[in-house]
A and B are shown apart, each in its own frame.
Chain A
Amino acid sequence: MLLYGLDFLVFVGIFGIVALSLNLEFGFAGLANFGKVAFFLVGAYTYAVLSQIGVPFYLCLITAAVIAAAFGFVISLPALRLRADYLAISVLAFGEILRLLIKAEHGIAGGVWGITVSPAISLAGVSYRVDLLVNIGLVYFCLLICFIVAQLLANSPYGRVMRAIREDEVAAEALGKDRAKYKAQIFMIGSAMAGLAGGLYAQYLQFIDPYMFMPMITFTVWMMVILGGPANNWGALLGAGLVEFFDRGANLAKDYLVLPVDPSNLQYILFGALIILVLFYRPQGLLKESPIKTKALELVRYGRGVVNNKPGK
């Protein structure tokens, strides 16, 4: 049971990173990235291939992030000039193409057979439990870094521009913001985070194959962001925790439940219902958008009290 709990924590940490990255792209900048799993996959395979040739784990992780960012940049070039719905479809297709390519090509990291990955930190002769704790430490360290980056970006003039692009990109452009450049940057940062998470995922599971990177992963992460509350980094983490919790819960429950449907689909039914409930009753997600906070803004708002800080109605 304890092991199960620790394993749960690792997953929340890893998907927390992916949720943060999608939140940056979609929640703040309004970029509907329906191909999140593609960058997760790139990170995981980069890690796997590098670790096989004996590269130390931290370099593997960094390279995973960098390569994923490079993919993000390349994809962003044509895609970001498209309308939002075309962007969604083209990135979704990109993820599937990558996955199928690996599946078909045995030359690439074992192809359909998958590839074993050595763990990031393996201490000789310690129990599985200690290994798990070390992994939690590593994953949450990475999560912390990503969270700090996301918070700094969100609470800065850069975050203001991201939101402006989400609200009305033409107006932002007419106010001097090069939207193509901003979108490409945000896409790169988001992809780097997803790649980092992919690397962590690969080393934690110590085995990856193409079936682990189905589009369902993308939708799970979307659910985290929508449930937790877009444009709120805490919300992304909350969403990651909740969705992972429901996922596990459904997985456990289905062994005990008698259902008129194939119980292996229970999660998906639950997720579907959850999404509908959220969209109906709380479309802004559980936590609402956090306003931009910078030192100077706080000073004006609370420091001098010259302006009414209640919403004017």
Chain B
Amino acid sequence: MEEALLRIREVSKHFGGVYAVNEVNLDIREGGIWGLVGPNGSGKTTLFNTILGLYKPDHGAIYFNGKCISNLAPHDIYGEGVVNAFQLPRLFNRMNVLDNMLVAARGHQGDKCLHSLFWRKSWQKQEEGLIEEALDILRLVDLEKWAFSLAGELSGGQRKLLEVGRGLMAKPRLLLLDEPAAGINPVLGKSMFQKLKDFSCNGITFFIVEHRLEILFEFANWVYVMDRGRMVAQGEPHDVVDAPAFYEAYLGEG
């Protein structure tokens, strides 16, 4: 069998007495859109934060591309190619939209102190290319007109869009999206998924938490279901909707 891109083994994370993530196992193979659903508070965001290295798992291990990443710092995990778009956008508010995008750019020479001072030529050219890329992505998420507005002045939905755009700008191998369509108008939400699908053909694998199941299930290749910290079901979307565990997660109180 093909080596999984992301492999999560027996990962647990608890806060005090709350097991937010409880012995979760999961495999994501390269390519396509992978979904993660579950009721509020079922541990989806916590699982994402654990993958990102923002939380250290209390137990278990996470492998990316065959390498154990659960002990790496978040910036090294970005280096491996895992990037996240936060559920509550964490934008750089007093910077404009374009600068927000450019921060995410991978391997910008000018990010280094000495380069920024003494080798300005070396990154000026690179920056031109990066700006083109950033503007392309901004066009995709309908934010091109706002490129030079402060991120702090965007509306709630636009903030979400920028958060997703910034994730794409980072050119990850695996992009985690935490409710990308929340607060986005339904038409744009759907067309955004359509565009993500196109990206997934270009080497980005998506792992998406989404409460708007109808959109997610239309585009996802495989869906995981979490309930109270546990992974309770998985399968192709049309199989998952028929799984008893899926209903129990959303409806059952038992």
Contacts and interface: CB of A to CB of B under 8 A. Distances in A.
A157 B127 contact: yes
Interface in B139-169: 144-150, 153, 166
Contacts of B92: 163-164, 167-168, 171-172
Question: For chain A, what secondary structure do more than half of its interface residues adopt (helix, strand, loop), or is it mixed?
Answer: helix
A157 B75 contact: no
B227 interface: no
Interface of A: 149, 152-153, 156-161, 163-164, 167-168, 170-179, 185, 189, 289, 291-292, 294-297, 299-301, 307-313
B83 A164 contact: no
B117 to A, nearest CB: 5
B228 interface: no
A110 to B, nearest CB: 37
B153 A312 contact: yes
Interface stretch (B17-25, B95-103, B204-212, B240-248): B95-103
Given A164-B95, A167-B94, A173 B73 contact: yes
Contacts of B103: 160-161, 164, 172, 175, 177
Given A152-B116, A156-B110, A294 B144 contact: no
Contacts of B112: 158
B93 interface: yes
A300 B136 CA distance: 13
Nearest to B109: A157
Nearest to B95: A163
23 contacts: A152-B116, A152-B120, A153-B117, A156-B117, A158-B110, A158-B116, A163-B94, A170-B54, A170-B90, A171-B92, A175-B78, A176-B78, A176-B79, A178-B75, A185-B113, A292-B99, A297-B98, A300-B98, A308-B145, A308-B148, A311-B149, A311-B150, A312-B145
Contact of A295 (B73, B79, B124): B124
A173 B123 contact: no
B128 A299 contact: yes
Nearest to B147: A307
A149 B98 CA distance: 24
A163 B78 CA distance: 19
Contacts of A297: 98, 127, 131
Interface centre among B75, B104, B149 (most CB of A within 10 A): B75
Interface in B13-55: 52, 54
A157 B153 contact: no
Nearest to A307: B147
A157 B116 contact: yes
B74 interface: yes
Given A149-B117, A312-B145, A312-B153, A171 B108 contact: no
B117 A312 contact: no
Given A174-B74, A292-B99, A296-B130, 14 more contacts: A153-B117, A157-B108, A158-B115, A163-B92, A163-B94, A167-B91, A167-B95, A171-B92, A174-B52, A174-B54, A176-B104, A289-B94, A295-B124, A296-B128
Interface centre among B106, B124, B170 (most CB of A within 10 A): B124
Contacts of B74: 170, 173-174
A179 B73 CA distance: 10
A175 B144 contact: no
A166 to B, nearest CB: 8
B84 interface: yes
A152 to B, nearest CB: 5
Contacts of A161: 103, 111
B144 A296 contact: no
B223 interface: no
Given A160-B102, A168-B91, A312-B149, A296 B83 contact: no
A103 B56 CA distance: 46
B148 A311 contact: yes
B131 A300 contact: yes
A156 B120 contact: yes
Interface centre among A159, A176, A177, A189 (most CB of B within 10 A): A176
B192 interface: no
Contacts of A173: 73-75
B149 A156 contact: no
Contacts of A289: 94
Contacts of A292: 95, 99
Interface string B61-94: 0000000000001110011000110100011111
Nearest to B124: A295
A160 B117 CA distance: 13
Contacts of B147: 300, 307
